[in-house]
Chains A and B, each alone.
Chain A
Amino acid sequence: MALSRRDFLKASSAVAAALGLRSLGFLTEEALAAEGTPTVVWLQAQGCTGCSVSLLNSIYYTTIDKLLLNTLDMQYNSTVMAGAGSTAVNAANAAYAKGGYILAVEGAIPTASNGQYCTVWPGMTALAAVQKFAAKASCVLAVGTCASFGGVSAAGANPTGAKSVQAVVGTSKPLINVAGCPIHPDWLVGTIAYILKNGRAPALDSRRRPADYFRNTIHSACPYRNNSPIPPSSGHGGGAACTACHGSGAPTGAARLGQTGCMYPLGCKGPTTRGDCPTRKWNSAAAGAYGVNWCISAGAPCSGCTEPTFPGTGALYTLAAAAASGGAGGTASCSQCHSDGRSGVLPAGHPSIGGSGTGGTTTGTVNCRQCHSNGSTRGTLPKGHPSITRRRREEDDD
């Protein structure tokens, strides 16, 4: 079978039309079958290749073979390319000489010891490579939470000085954080398709994530939420247990892993995590079809993997709801709201247990960004803030 891009372009356009891809919202087959075949340079920095593997699972918009054969000119990608050694490096350098390529970076960038903790090829640190290739890129895709925010690679003591792509190259070039540990393939393929079709980056949220995929919290469409959809501007997205505000009308919480119910008591990060997992789900079976499963549906609490706070320092989840945390409704683990590693008995009046608190010690305990993604506030909570009074209040969350 002889394959050419043109043959595949024709074939996949026909397939796309047959499948009605035109109806998939902002994406069209023209975008995926663009004649222009833009060049991509994909650098593996300090990660685990999980985002590349997830990309291989793409099918909702298109499959990886069609993407590579028909849509993109993937001139350098050490995981899939046939060439090796200097043959591979020369391909990357040829793309660099021409410029104007899409630069995709997977993994964080270790910056300590002059970047010696990761080299992409002999004599070229990931740090130097990302700086060099970003300079002549048309846009930069930070692929995954490590590239977007540091993620697992920058967690804990971070001995390698791992940083996000943005921290290394700034935003002088259009930079998109396709977050997720790993990415959902649709988040990346849909973003690329948007760029190809429109010649510019899609709308981004305050963390430079594509807003179409990261507009709402996981909680907002969680199957364990007991009401019809709560708009993200209603004050939800905070860290309190449902019972703190909803009393006996709240959903029944799971007391232990493996039990059915709201897993907020087990440390679920859904209220503070943005992504369309509840509707899109994962591991789609067919073009235009949503996935077959996802974390919460499978009885596993959301770990918050699309957020800058992932994986933080606190527990990702617990096997059983905390029993001794200050009385009725005391179900939250501190790490759900506090990122400073604290633990212990909740004080009376703490918002997560529904006490009639005065709001007393309100400074510095909540990281504003856990609820507010507009990147602004940090500091003393204003009187009447929902996290200290539990009073429902309209607030613009985005």
Chain B
Amino acid sequence: MPQVIKVGPVTRVEGHLDIEVTVEAVNGRQQVVDAKSSGTMFRGFETMLVGRDPLDASQLTQRVCGVCPISHGMAASLALEAALGVTAPSNGRILRNLTLGANYIQSHVLHFYHLAAPDYLDTTGLLDMSPWTPRYVTSDMAKGSTAATFVDHYVKALEIRRKAHQMGAIFGAKMPASPTLVPGGATEPVTAARVTAFRALLTQMQAFINNVYIPDVLAVARLFPQYATLGKGSGNLLAYGVFDLNSAGSSKLLKRGTYTNGAFGQVNASLIKEYVKYSWYSVSNTGLNPSRGTTTAYPGKSGAYSWIKAPRYNDAVYEAGPLARMYVNGDYRKGISVIDRVAARALEAKKVADAMAGWLNELVPGAAVYAYKATPSNATGVGLTEAPRGALGHWLQIAGGKVSRYQIVTPTAWNASPMDDAGRHGPIEQALIGTPVADPNQPIELLRVVHSFDPCLSCSVHMSRPGDKARRMLVRV
């Protein structure tokens, strides 16, 4: 008999996520046959920006997400720069990259050690206290000295991610939300002392990534080889690219592109559409490109199960994230799975940290960090960049000197999206389908799959409804 398993809340993610899966025997193995991913919080961010001074976007959209605010500040700055017709001077571009890179490192380290690793560890006898207990304890988890080492590294990683934010504040004023990212560049002048302070911390980051983070990821890969074939998802990857290497943005550390049914391609932003049949928004919002998008909340809408819209590229389901970036860029092409996502994230942290060391050398103390251009009365702009979790786009329209439309498509909208109007499941839902579940009361496998995407829910959200099939046994875990 099919069982419905509901995990709500999914913890150790940013924001509010519930998942609901149907499990039944397939070829003698209990596995997920259907899945729903529900974002359970809505704020109306895009509505809030309408009527405001366009410049506010680079500050206020950082409050979309406290884990990746710098990426929102970057996307808004890029959208505004397109609208204003200005580009940041070299120093300003590099300062923003360094601040963004600092946040990539803190986010990736935080994800692996503090959000994901607990899924693989039995810490009984090590951390018998809240918030690490109570928890699922399954027989396949690493115990003993391996678990003890990870607990040590959990604590060390807290220090490293704190220092990553300290590093980001050197040019970012303060972290998590930085006021120094503005259209036209950055506000913090470059001094030799600040470059030196930044480099000293960056060296510590690089040592941790090389000597602790990557070896620990490899240890998980060795201990859980089955997860190198689980959680594939849609198999299509989307990357907008990030870390501009020139002022035009035509060269990037991680390039823009798609991976579709095994073939690489270019990104055409006009092929992005957002669907809302299964989301709590008015049906008039469906099937629109974000440049024409609208966001009209419709709580309680029949049949809907998420506050997340369903963005699709060329009407197909795409995954975003470090694996997509590293795949498109040619840095990592071993496969698409739970382990591949975790591994690509760690290797990307190394790539970004190493690049940052080079960018520090390109800074010119005293040279301009900012270029001024007045805000036009009427203009549009698109800012495509990458949050640590994947492709992030801001679509801006200015009329009469005020924001007349603002649409944000986050990476977790791509990854945690519900079904679209054609009934295609989102990437996390697809990755869950086919995943075996050994113990419905402790469905740790589901958490490992979901956490591999590093979901970040805040601009979306959930009203969960029990399954409608009366014969199903409802198991709440």
Q: Which residues from chain A contact B128 at a C-beta distance below 8 Å?
A: 4
Residues of chain A within 8 A of B351, CB atoms compared? none
B170 with A59: CB separation less than 8 A: no
Question: Chain B residues with Cβ under 8 A from A294's Cβ?
Answer: 173-174
Residues 237-287 of A at the B interface (beta carbon under 8 Å): 256-258, 260, 282-285
User: B125's closest neighbor in chain A, by CB?
Assistant: A2
A54 touches B47 (CB 8 A): no
Report the minimum CB–CB distance from A58 to chain B (whole Å): 8
| Residues from 122 to 136 in B contacting A, C-beta threshold 8 Å | 123, 125-136
Q: B43–A122 contact, CB under 8 A?
A: no
A215 at the B interface (CB under 8 A): no
Q: Report the Cα distance A293→B7, complex, angstroms.
A: 41
Question: Which of A49, A52, A121, A317 touches B9 (beta carbons < 8 Å)?
Answer: A121
Q: Does A20 contact B (CB under 8 A)?
A: no
Tell me if B353 counts as interface (CB < 8 A to partner A): no
A47 to B297 CA separation, bound complex (whole angstroms): 17
Other-chain residue from A86, A301, A320 in contact with B477 (beta carbon distance below 8 A):
A86
* B64 → A minimal CB distance (Å): 6
A54/B66 in contact, CB under 8 A: yes
Looking at B181-189, B242-250, B390-398, B424-432, the stretch in contact with chain A turns out to be B181-189
For the residues of B in contact with A, the DSSP-based class is loop
Name B291-311 residues within 8 Å CB distance of A.
Answer: 297, 299-300, 307
User: Which residues from 14 to 46 on chain A have a C-beta closer than 8 Å to any C-beta of chain B?
Assistant: 44, 46
Q: Which of B11, B151, B159, B174 contacts A78 (CB 8 A)?
A: B11
Looking at B41, B118, B163, the one whose CB has the most chain A CB atoms below 10 A away is B41
Q: Name the contact of B55 in the complex, choosing from A5, A49, A59, A318 (C-beta under 8 A).
A: A318
CA distance A56 to B65 in the complex (A): 15
The answer to whether B173 and A82 have CB atoms under 8 Å apart is no
For the complex, is B220 an interface residue (Cβ under 8 Å from A)? no
Which of chain B's residues have a CB closer than 8 A to the CB of A308? none
Q: Is B264 an interface residue (CB 8 A)?
A: no
Residues in B neighbouring A59, C-beta threshold 8 A:
162
The 0/1 profile, CB within 8 Å of A marked 1, for residues 160-203 of chain B is: 01110110111111111101101111011100000001000000
CA distance in complex: A316, B179 (Å): 11
Interface stretch of the complex, out of B266-274, B334-342, B456-464: B456-464
A73 contact from B18, B130, B159, B372, Cβ within 8 A: B130
In contact, A300 and B14 (Cβ under 8 angstroms): no
Picked from A2, A65, A79, A315, the residue with its CB within 8 Å of the CB of B52 is A315
A90 on interface, CB distance cutoff 8 Å? yes
Q: Does B56 contact A (CB under 8 A)?
A: yes
Other-chain residue from A46, A50, A85, A116 in contact with B43 (beta carbon distance below 8 A): A46
Neighbouring B residues of A313 by C-beta, 8 Å: 51-52
User: Does the CB pair A80–B47 fall under 8 Å?
Assistant: no
Give which listed residue, B11, B18, B59, B148, contacts A303 with CB less than 8 A: B59
| Bound: A69/B129 CA distance, A | 8
B59 touches A85 (CB 8 A): no
Interface centre among A110, A123, A157, A293 (most CB of B within 10 A): A293
What is the CA–CA distance of A265 and B50 in the complex, to the nearest angstrom? 24
Check A319 against B173 for contact (C-beta < 8 Å).
no
Pair A80/B12 contact, Cβ less than 8 Å: yes
The yes or no answer to A381 lying at the interface (CB within 8 A) is no
- Tell me, in angstroms, the Cα distance from A311 to B13 when the chains sit together: 26
Q: Of A56, A78, A260, A297, which one neighbours B161 at CB under 8 angstroms?
A: A56
Q: Are B464 and A123 in contact (CB under 8 A)?
A: yes
A282-B174, A315-B53 known; A5-B368 Cβ under 8 A: no
A295 to chain B, nearest CB (A): 5
Point out residues on A near B: beta carbons under 8 Å. 1-5, 44, 46-54, 56-59, 63-65, 68-69, 73-91, 110, 113, 116-123, 126, 152-153, 155-160, 162, 181-182, 256-258, 260, 282-285, 291-295, 297-301, 303, 311, 313-320
Beyond the given A160-B43, A293-B173, could you list 4 further A-B residue pairs with CB under 8 A, ordered by the A residue number? A48-B15, A56-B162, A82-B11, A162-B43
A-B contact pairs, 24 of them (CB 8 A): A1-B148, A2-B126, A44-B15, A48-B64, A50-B67, A53-B66, A56-B110, A64-B162, A81-B130, A82-B12, A87-B135, A118-B41, A119-B16, A119-B40, A122-B18, A156-B48, A157-B50, A159-B47, A159-B297, A294-B173, A317-B55, A317-B56, A319-B372, A319-B374
